Amino acid sequence: MKNAKYLWIVLCGATLMASCRGDKPAPAPPAISFENGGPVFRARQGATLVITPTVANGDGATYVWSSGGEVIGREPSLAFRSDEEGSVYVSLRVSNAGGADEAEIRIDVLALLAPQITMAVPEGGFTVVEGGELLFSPEVIGDAMFLWTVDGVQVAVGREFTFSPATAGLYHVVFTATGDDGVSRLEFDVRVCTPDEMAFEWMFEQTTYNISLGRTVFIRPFRIRNAFDAVYSWRIDGGGVVREGTECSYAYTPSMQGQHTVTIAMNNSYGQLTKTFTVNVCPPEGTWRRPLSPSSSAEADHGYFFLPAPSQHINRGASVVPFADQAAVNAHIYNRPGSTEYGGSLGAWGGCLVAGFDHSVANSGGYDLEIEGNAFPGSSEPGIVWVMQDENGNGLPDDTWYELKGSAYGAPGYIRDYAVTYFRGADRSNIAWTDNHGNSGTIDYMHEHTPPTMYPRWIAGESYTLVGSRLPSRTREVTPGYWSNDDFEWGYVDNYSPVDMLRSDGNPNAAYVGNHLRISDAVTHDGQPAGLQYIDFVKVQTGLNVKAGWLGENSTEVAAIRDYNMIK
């Protein structure tokens, strides 16, 4: 996200000037915010739009509105009019004796201002059990009157509508937003089922596991729907039941090498479902360890996988290339360590990249990895780091990931097996999301730096899901319009840590600087030390699902990934 955050420097400079005056202290500097969301406004072609910001400490201040290098206003409000369609960028500077604040807005000039609707609708519509409830709460940009109909019958007139059908069947729902310049509609189906018609559903991140002999594999879903009174039974290699209960997870520690099958059966009052997993038990740790050589590089020697979450920075830089699919993206970043194509933004929560070394990185007991981000005080967008050994020796990151335990691991608000589904949106619109805890929201379309779509161009589907761990938010609005993304103590990338950045200069230029991490902090899924002697692959994943007002979503930035043992 890291745009326009240097306003903190202006504030600090104003405070210093005030402390040097011996007579009358300078007033507090202004702080600009926009009540209606900003910084994107919509104006009808040929009509006047009045924009009035909220300015803290604005009494007696000087206002300067400018666009295209020309001053277009000097009043607290801007009366804007354009006879041409398109986007216009306007800057506002408010200053007083204590300092100044600046903000930039975009005004989209349209022939008609039909309301804009955003809501996450699953492919095929919604499903709910008979007698259940669904709350629909779309976001709408623009003044409008609202109307809900079900099968052509009016049922509600507000923006929100709770659907609670008593009878099973298929219902067609229409949400209409009517403004002065047009009408927008959102249509979808809702299938209402009796309990015995509600299909049980489970979602697992993988069905094949590669793990070294002596280790434990944790098989569990990241989402379950319509479980009702489900009981789960587990079997190994077709044998008898080894675990049974209402918890859908199993910790399996194989006793011998080779390929094994783990089968789970779900039984509830309405049906039965089974699923089989393959567990390839590899030779013990160390069998495929790759030693250092005179030609070994401290830098991760190539990237394997790049899948960002939607963001104001996605589809720029490397992503401008018209990728055909995920395989083309992975091929593009292969052997491009440290480049802008390899690094940059991972997008909102869950966005990730995977890189590897030309040797095994040893667990020294101290700092073993250095990963660069561009954090500075008040601007931390922490990424969680995962590590992997090449347990099956095939040179690919298809084995077991271990999370590096940071200072927020297990804290209130920390969630393992967190999942977010992002939905494709129209160009220049917000991207809707839902998570596996029943929450929903949007990644907001921001400003001129944002490409037409924030949804990765190479993903053909209407939605995609990311799975990982989520950190508790430390984002806060300090004063109106001023946001701070506070740091975590240690253990994350792109995090201004007082412990593991090994510097205290404040990084005033937001340069790429390293956080330092320990392989000895790797933990298994149940939080126990993994005890890894070395690692071969690294994954960095955006750890926060949070927005900082007009600055937008938190998105981890990553540059170089290094074996710190070779340079420390």
The partner residues of 563 in beta bridges, in order of sequence, read: 369
Q: For residue 556, give the H/E element and its range.
A: none
How many C-alpha atoms does 30 have within 13 Å on its Cβ side?
22
Average pLDDT for residues 205-228, to the nearest whole number? 96
Return the sign of the alpha-carbon dihedral for residues 452, 458, 460, 462.
negative
Predicted confidence at residue 565, as pLDDT, reads: 97
Quote the CA–CA distance of 162 and 132 in Å, as a whole number.
Answer: 10
Average pLDDT for residues 384-399, to the nearest whole number? 97
Quote the CA–CA distance of 274 and 309 in Å, as a whole number.
Answer: 32
Burial of 139 per CB tally in 10 Å (0-12, 13-18, 19+): middle
> What mean pLDDT, rounded, does the chain reach?
88
Would you give the DSSP letter of residue 207? S
pTM for the full predicted model: 0.78
> What are 461's two structure tokens?
């589907």
Burial of 292 per CB tally in 10 Å (0-12, 13-18, 19+): middle
Quote the CA–CA distance of 29 and 521 in Å, as a whole number.
Answer: 44
How many C-alpha atoms does 67 have within 13 Å on its Cβ side?
14
With contact defined as beta carbons under 8 Å apart, do 404 and 386 qualify? yes
Predicted confidence at residue 25, as pLDDT, reads: 66
Would you give the DSSP letter of residue 545? -
CATH hierarchy code of domain 199-282: 2.60.40.10
Q: Which long-range contacts (CB under 8 A, 24 or more apart) does 41-44 make?
A: 41/105, 41/106, 41/107, 41/108, 42/107, 42/108, 42/110, 42/113, 42/141, 42/142, 43/80, 43/81, 43/82, 43/107, 43/108, 43/109, 43/110, 43/113, 44/109, 44/110, 44/111, 44/112, 44/113, 44/181
With contact defined as beta carbons under 8 Å apart, do 329 and 442 qualify? no
Residue 332 has pLDDT above 70, yes or no: yes
Return the sign of the alpha-carbon dihedral for residues 69, 70, 71, 72.
negative
Q: What is the pLDDT of residues 78-120, one digit of tens each?
A: 999 999 988 898 999 999 998 998 888 888 888 888 898 989 9
Quote the CA–CA distance of 413 and 393 in Å, as a whole number.
Answer: 37
Sorting pLDDT into bands at 50, 70 and 90, what band is 333? confident
Sorting pLDDT into bands at 50, 70 and 90, what band is 338? very low
Query: Within its chain, how far is the Cα of 262 from the centroid?
Result: 32
Q: What is the pLDDT of residues 179-195, one digit of tens each?
A: 988 899 999 999 999 88
Average pLDDT for residues 362-389, to the nearest whole number? 96
Collapse the DSSP code of 521 into the 3-class scheme (helix H, G, I; strand E, B; otherwise coil) and give the result: helix
Collapse the DSSP code of 12 into the 3-class scheme (helix H, G, I; strand E, B; otherwise coil) and give the result: helix
Q: Which residue has the higher pLDDT, 360 or 56?
A: 360
Residue 258 has pLDDT above 70, yes or no: yes
Burial of 534 per CB tally in 10 Å (0-12, 13-18, 19+): buried
Q: Which residue has the higher pLDDT, 14 or 310?
A: 310
Average pLDDT for residues 474-486, to the nearest whole number? 85
Predicted confidence at residue 336, as pLDDT, reads: 56
With contact defined as beta carbons under 8 Å apart, do 471 and 488 qualify? yes
Q: What is the pLDDT of residues 372-381, one digit of tens each?
A: 999 999 999 9
Average pLDDT for residues 353-362, to the nearest whole number? 96
Q: Which residue has the higher pLDDT, 161 or 331?
A: 161
Residue 17 has pLDDT above 50, yes or no: no
Predicted confidence at residue 335, as pLDDT, reads: 55
Domain 7-110 indexed as CATH 1.10.3720.10: no
Strands 126-129 and 182-193: parallel
In one-letter notation, the amino acid at residue 216 is T
CA distances from 129 to 71, 123, 185, 326, 355 (A): 59, 18, 26, 36, 44
Residue 290 has pLDDT above 90, yes or no: yes
Q: DSSP secondary structure string, 226-251?
A: --TT-EEEEEETT-SEEEEES---EE
Among the four given CATH numbers 3.40.120.10, 3.65.10.10, 2.60.40.10, 2.130.10.10, the one describing domain 116-196: 2.60.40.10
Predicted confidence at residue 124, as pLDDT, reads: 85
Sorting pLDDT into bands at 50, 70 and 90, what band is 448? low
Instruction: Give, rounded to a whole angstrom, the gap between the first and last alpha carbons of the chain.
Output: 30
Would you give the DSSP letter of residue 379? B
Predicted confidence at residue 383, as pLDDT, reads: 97
Domains 7-110 and 116-196 fall in the same CATH topology: yes
Predicted confidence at residue 36, as pLDDT, reads: 54
Predicted confidence at residue 334, as pLDDT, reads: 66
Quote the CA–CA distance of 230 and 269 in Å, as a whole number.
Answer: 8
Average pLDDT for residues 475-488, to the nearest whole number? 86
With contact defined as beta carbons under 8 Å apart, do 415 and 437 qualify? yes
220, 224, 226, 232: CA torsion to nearest 10: 0
With contact defined as beta carbons under 8 Å apart, do 88 and 105 qualify? no
Q: Which residue has the higher pLDDT, 146 or 87?
A: 146
Predicted confidence at residue 337, as pLDDT, reads: 47
Residue 348 has pLDDT above 90, yes or no: yes
CA-nearest of 42, 96, 40, 35 to 64 is: 96
Q: For residue 328, give the H/E element and its range.
A: helix 326-333
The partner residues of 376 in beta bridges, in order of sequence, read: 379
Q: Where are the domains of the chain?
A: 7-110, 116-196, 199-282, 302-566
Average pLDDT for residues 218-236, to the nearest whole number? 96
Quote the CA–CA distance of 92 and 328 in Å, as a whole number.
Answer: 42
Strands 415-423 and 561-563: unpaired
Kindly report which listed range (503-517, 520-534, 550-564) carries the lowest average pLDDT score.
503-517
The partner residues of 540 in beta bridges, in order of sequence, read: 353, 385
With contact defined as beta carbons under 8 Å apart, do 564 and 301 qualify? no
Kindly report which listed range (5-19, 417-431, 486-500, 501-515) carries the lowest average pLDDT score.
5-19
Quote the CA–CA distance of 355 and 387 in Å, as a whole number.
Answer: 10
Predicted confidence at residue 4, as pLDDT, reads: 34
